[in-house]
Amino acid sequence: MSSEDFLKEIQAIGEKFLLKLQKLPKADPVEIVSFSVVLLFIVTVLVLTVIACSCCCYSCCGCDGRPDPRHKKSRVRPAA
């Protein structure tokens, strides 16, 4: 997929989302609840992804961007 196709797809999704938001005040309560649940799910996934990435980067590199020498990989040798 080229970058132009990707941008067009993102724009189409954004337009559908704005249209849905404009129709939301006139919608049925069931539709409002289902839209809220989907929106909450998307936000939760994004927040958990950011938390996971920040924890991973923090444990590997620390705050200064250099690898932490305490977290070196060590080989475990089998007992004789």
SS3 74: coil
pLDDT tens readout for residues 36-58: 999 899 999 999 998 888 877 66
Q: Do the beta carbons of residue 20 and residue 35 sit within 8 Å? A: yes
The pair of three-digit structure tokens given for residue 23, joined into one six-digit string: 């129709």
What pTM did the predictor assign? Answer: 0.54
**Radius of gyration for the alpha carbons in the chain, expressed in angstroms and rounded:** 22
Query: How far apart are alpha carbons 10 and 23 in whole angstroms?
Result: 20
Which is it for the CA torsion 9, 12, 18, 20, positive or negative?
negative
Average pLDDT score, the chain: 81
> If pLDDT is split at 50, 70 and 90, which confidence band does 25 have?
confident
